[in-house]
């Protein structure tokens, strides 16, 4: 229990625009604990050395010096990253008596997002912000690519935004405030305790919680803020009609296979009559330029075939394609089919591909792309793989576009085969982002399609 409270004003020196934080802290916290708090509220990743000092020199040992004692002689300085030289000036109020059981650290306010690690200190960071703000600047594309590669998809995109609520949630988690409100077995920091968890709240077995739990600590904190900021924790509600339309192509495919199975051609393909049926039933007769009505279905059916096979809904047997037990249960039931697609989507993938698939689903849940080649989500996937310790097979430093697309191709097979509620019975050839793709991705992330292997094993 706090015996005294101190109001701290923390200002990042020479930062333009200004970056400040106003905190109320327990005066008995150590400088080591204050370091943790400052890392959180300024969005640092604990990648560089730091030190505390005052007008008389460096203050140490940090784990034995209370904040109140350190501030007794005036302002403190917290220096982070000796190369970029980020200086934080801390001024504190006189200690006041604490009443009740206040938070160890409370966020009272602040301005500006924390800087980007490795951006060159206050001057370098300001220069990069200026370049980013000017699309006509000759270095705009280079700096934008660098920022995206360094910050990844979970970093706060707006340099003027300070999310006090997300910072407070991270502080509460770090300092164990109201720990009884969280699931004691959860490592993600996203799951509430059993007695507080409602029907729509994130469950311990959810893919979203499993992914977060296995991230490195610094990335996990950033990821949690991203989840709160984008509303990914909000309950997922998808109407029965939308579920039926999204699963329509898979439902048709299982009906086409039937209880007796379908004969396969000598090279393992489906007979041409199946493609003709898709044109008639699935409304897949909308050709692209210079295509006949049959060509969209001819291209889509093999994708649907691959997806259904990997998901374990069908399998080849003695020259025929037959339903599996999962396929039998899902046939004729949109509810069962929805459950199969959302819970089995990682089936058959290597551990690294499971990580990449989850990262792809996160991008779809946040901002769904038109199709697999029309977006920049591969960079977000590459970032997630790197954070989790994976490397390309050829041991090169970074994943490139083609490598990432190859890794997530099985997931794209499923996403590209989903029906569109804009069509009669589903048409996967989308010409614009489908908002219901986000619904599907969120349903998967909230479901039990957990990653079943450690994330930090290198990609081999």
State residue 290's pLDDT score. Answer: 42
Torsion of CA 378, 384, 386, 391, to 10 degrees: -60
Q: Report how far residue 391's alpha carbon sits from residue 459's, in angstroms, rounded to the nearest whole number.
A: 5
**Location of structure tokens 């219901």:** 436
What is the mean predicted confidence (pLDDT) over 211-239?
90
What is the mean predicted confidence (pLDDT) over 295-313?
84
Distances (CA, A) of 54 to 19, 78, 84, 243: 21, 9, 20, 62
State residue 452's pLDDT score. Answer: 61
- Domain 6-151: CATH architecture, name and number where available: Roll (3.10)
Percent of the chain with pLDDT over 90: 65
The percent helix, strand, coil of the chain (3-state, each to 5) is 40, 15, 45
**Location of structure tokens 């989308």:** 430
Model pTM?
0.85
Q: What are phi and psi of 58, to 5 degrees?
A: -75, 145
Residues 389-446: tens digit of each pLDDT: 898 887 777 899 999 999 999 999 999 888 865 543 444 445 566 778 899 999 999 9
Instruction: Parse the chain into domains and list their residue ranges.
Output: 6-151, 178-230, 240-446
Residues 110-153: tens digit of each pLDDT: 999 999 999 999 999 999 999 999 999 999 999 999 998 899 99
């Amino acid at each position: 229990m706090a015996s005294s409270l101190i109001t701290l004003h923390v200002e990042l020196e020479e930062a333009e625009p200004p970056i400040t934080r106003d905190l109320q802290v327990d005066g008995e916290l150590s400088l080591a604990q204050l370091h943790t708090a400052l890392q959180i509220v300024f969005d640092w990743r604990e990648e560089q050395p730091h030190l505390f000092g005052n007008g008389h020199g460096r203050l140490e040992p940090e784990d034995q010096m209370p904040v109140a004692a350190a501030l007794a002689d005036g302002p403190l300085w917290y220096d982070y990253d000796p190369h970029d030289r980020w200086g934080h000036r801390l001024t504190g109020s006189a200690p006041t008596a604490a009443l009740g059981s206040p938070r160890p650290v409370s966020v009272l306010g602040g301005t500006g997002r924390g800087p980007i690690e490795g951006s060159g200190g206050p001057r370098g960071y300001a220069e990069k912000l200026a370049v980013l703000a000017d699309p006509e600047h000759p270095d705009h594309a280079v700096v934008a690519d660098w920022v995206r590669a360094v910050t990844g998809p979970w970093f706060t995109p707006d340099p003027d935004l300070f999310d006090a609520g997300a910072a407070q949630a991270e502080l509460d988690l770090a300092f164990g405030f109201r720990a009884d409100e969280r699931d004691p077995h959860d490592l993600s920091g996203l799951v509430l305790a059993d007695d507080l968890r409602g029907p729509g709240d994130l469950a311990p077995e959810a893919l979203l919680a499993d992914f977060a739990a296995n991230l490195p600590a610094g990335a996990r904190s950033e990821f949690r803020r991203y989840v709160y900021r984008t509303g990914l924790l909000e309950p997922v509600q998808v109407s029965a009609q939308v579920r039926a339309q999204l699963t329509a192509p898979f439902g048709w495919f299982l009906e086409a296979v039937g209880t007796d199975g379908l004969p396969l051609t000598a090279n393992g393909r489906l007979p041409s009559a199946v493609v003709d049926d898709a044109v008639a039933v699935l409304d897949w007769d909308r050709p692209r330029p210079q295509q006949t009505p049959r060509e969209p279905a001819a291209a889509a059916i093999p994708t649907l075939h691959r997806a259904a096979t990997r998901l374990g809904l069908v399998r080849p047997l003695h020259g025929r394609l037959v339903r599996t037990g999962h396929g039998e249960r899902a046939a004729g039931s949109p509810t069962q089919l929805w459950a199969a697609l959302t819970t089995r989507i990682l089936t058959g993938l290597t551990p690294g591909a499971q990580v990449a698939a989850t990262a792809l689903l996160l991008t779809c849940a946040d901002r769904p792309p038109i199709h697999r080649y029309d977006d920049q989500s591969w960079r977000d996937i590459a970032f997630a793989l790197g954070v989790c310790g994976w490397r390309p097979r050829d041991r090169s430093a970074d994943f490139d576009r083609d490598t990432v697309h190859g890794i997530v191709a099985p997931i794209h097979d499923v996403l590209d085969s989903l029906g569109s509620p804009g069509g009669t019975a589903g048409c996967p050839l989308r010409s614009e982002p489908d908002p219901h793709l986000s619904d599907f991705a969120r349903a998967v992330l909230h479901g039990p399609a957990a990653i079943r292997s450690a994330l930090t094993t290198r990609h081999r």
